Amino acid sequence: MRTLYQFHGGVHPAEHKQESSAHPIVMAPLPTQLIVPLQQHIGQRAKPLVQIGDRVLKGQMIGQADGATSCAVHAPTSGSVSAIEMMPMPHPSSLPDLCISITPDGADEWITRTALDYQNMNPGEVRNRLRDFGLAGLGGAVFPSHVKLNPGKLDKVPTLILNGAECEPWITCDDLLMRERAAEIIAGAKIMQYLLSADAVLIGIEDNKPQAIAAMRAACAATGFEVIAVPTRYPSGGAKQLTKILTGKEPPSGGRSTDIGVQIFNVATAYSVARAVLHGEPMISRIVTVTGNVEQPRNYEVLLGTPVKELVALTGKQRNDTQSYIMGGPMMGFALPTDNVPVIKASNCLIASSPSLFPAPPPALPCIRCTQCAQACPVNLQPQDLYWFSRGREFGKAQEYNLFDCIECGCCDYVCPSHIPLVQYYRFAKSEIWAREREKQQADLARERHEFRLARIEREKKERADKLAAKTQGSKAPAANADIDPKKAAIQAAIERAKLKRSGVTPKNVENLSVETLKEIDEIEARRTQLKQAMEKQSDSPK
């Protein structure tokens, strides 16, 4: 039995898992239109590869990874490209981003799919293929997987963790995936283990999912992988929290989990890795929980790009009191401003929200410093202090009190008796600090440019003045300065050369040089000798 470690704080909200977990995964039918954003991952947006009117096949790459932290985007079904334009994204303020719209032709015709013989491939090549398969973390952060699967300078990452905790209330997509497709998750884990040269593979699942635990244990037989039931306590599924629970080690603040020899992936990402490597299928679909105020809460396997509106319509007749759809869970998710946005790689759950399910909190009262939040904080911050500093715009203080260690899990919001939207204050403070940082950088850059410009103008002015002075002087009194009289100088130089010749030392390669240059060389030589003497003197003196 493995010793489990505890993280500080945490909360246990009502789970609401059984609503959607009682039914098997349903394949969502082809939607009428697919809107595929080119930015579904952290990092650089993919570059579009198709043009309007092109016919694309299911699984065809339509957006190419752009840079190291980026990954490809694919056509979820066969059809024709109907638009490439800015479309609202599933985002708290539905910011638009570049999307490729595809009208399905109904044939659902695949590209040629070939499995990778990954064990006989260069790991770098496997990672590039994963990037081209569009692999990004499905746990919510959608970080390109090929980057995380690179041990980098380290030879290996000793511990690979699969995150099947799924600690947010309402969400059951990972639960269902583990119940139904455990074998392929484990197959994916093996590929990940190979790429990271990991010794141990730990799979953490909250103990409120006994069926998933049983299925995963069965699939792990004879693999040496360890399925570990962890206590149900939000946010045990936070990458850092799960790492702590399973290994006792804490990923350093501001660092990476690989710093402590751990890499962590969501179980659904492992599943997608297996589909990609063993079946040649790029990431074009994911499991999405649709639950809340709907007639038939279910988990659907949904093509990425399916409009939310069409997906939720599958659950039955829309209820009148549904006010919005929450993407993600009720702790960290956000209300979609419109249902006219696509399902993306990050969309694990859609909750139809109604006033009775999620009543608006009463008006916020002042903080009474009761420290319920500090007791609930899984990062052991002092949320009441951070709130005070954020509200008072003391951003330096907030940073000093480790504002940037906040994972925005919402535990403090959840327990606050004054109903203060604490996380919003932290986001506000963070964005203000980022904005100031950017402004400062820009100001520094502008100042440097300005100073450089002033210096340049000054230099040019001086050069012009010098030139002018030389010109006027040269025309008025050409013979006044003996030094620049070419005849005398030439004679002088000749005498010196003769002197040198007599002393037996001849400067090399000076035959074709002008008088001025020769003089310059002489001057430099004189300075060098002086310096040399000075240095010799210095080295002689006692230290």
Partner 1 sequence: MAFVSTPTSVSAVMLKVLFALVPAIAVYQLYFGPAILVSIVLASVTAIVAEALMLRLRGFPIRPFLLDGSALVTAWLLALSMPPLAPWWLIVLATLFAIVVAKHLYGGLGNNLFNPAMVGYAVMLISFPAQMTQWPTLTTLAQAHLSFADTLHYIFSGTLPVSLKLDALTMATPLDTLRTQLLLGRGVSDISNMPVFGYVGGKGGEFLALAYLAGGAYLLQQRLISWHIPVAFIAALSLLALGFHAYDAARYATPWFQLASGGAMLGAFFIATDPVTGATTPKGKIIFGAGIGLLVFVIRTWGGYPDGVAFAVLILNMCVPLIDAYTQPRVFGHGERKS
- Count of all residues that appear for the chain in the document: 543
**Position 356 contacts partner 1 (CB under 8 A):** no
Binding flag, residue 154, partner 1 (CB under 8 A)? no
Q: How far is the CB of 407 from partner 1 (least distance, A)?
A: 9
Beta strands 200-206 and 159-163, pairing class: parallel
Q: How many CA atoms lie within 13 A of 345 on its CB side?
A: 29
3-state secondary structure of 79: strand
Question: In sequence order, what are the beta bridge partners of 334?
Answer: 327
- CB of 78 or CB of 418, closer to partner 1: 418
Instruction: Give, as ranges, the residues between 84 and 143 that touch partner 1 (CB under 8 A).
Output: none
Among candidate residues 331, 335, 328, the one with its CA nearest the CA of residue 349: 328
Binding-site residue total for partner 1 (CB under 8 A)? 57
Nearer to partner 1 (CB atom), residue 419 or residue 449: 419
- Name the minimum Å distance from CB 112 to partner 1: 45
What distance in Å separates the CA atoms of residue 102 and residue 303, rounded to the nearest whole number? Answer: 12
CA distances from 132 to 27, 271, 389, 416 (A): 25, 16, 44, 45
Beta-ladder partners of 144 = 136
Answer for which of 164, 251, 282, 297 binds partner 1 (CB under 8 A) is 251
The distance of closest approach from Cβ of residue 340 to partner 1 in the complex, given in angstroms and rounded to an integer, is 21
20 binds partner 1 (CB under 8 A): no
280 is a site residue for partner 1 (CB under 8 A): no
Indicate the residue among 6 and 473 with the shorter CB distance to partner 1.
6
For residue 293, state whether it binds partner 1 (rule: CB under 8 A).
no
* Residue 151 CB coordination number (10 Å): 18
**How far is residue 328's CA from residue 324's CA, in Å, rounded to a whole number?**
13
Contact flag: residue 355 with partner 1 (CB under 8 A): no
14 binds partner 1 (CB under 8 A): yes
SS3 content of the chain, % helix, strand, coil (to 5): 40, 15, 45
Q: How many whole angstroms from its chain centre is CA 219? A: 32
387 scored as a contact of partner 1 (CB under 8 A): no
CB of 238 to partner 1, least distance (A): 10
Residue 369 C-beta: closest distance to partner 1, Å: 5
Say which residue the tokens 């599943």 belong to: 271
Exactly one of 323, 340, 354, 371 binds partner 1 (CB under 8 A); that residue is 371
Q: Is 165 in the site for partner 1 (CB under 8 A)?
A: no
Please list every residue from 305 through 344 that binds partner 1, using CB under 8 A: 326, 330-333, 335
Classify burial at 152, counting beta carbons within 10 Å of its beta carbon; exposed 0-12, middle 13-18, buried 19 or more: exposed
Shortest approach of partner 1 to residue 131 CB, angstroms?
29
What tokens were used for 494? Answer: 């000749």
Any contact of residue 231 with partner 1 (CB under 8 A)?
Answer: no
Residue numbers of the site for partner 1 (CB under 8 A)? 7-8, 11, 13-14, 169, 240, 244, 250-255, 326, 330-333, 335, 353, 358, 361-363, 365-372, 374-375, 378-382, 384-385, 401-402, 405, 410, 413-419, 421-424
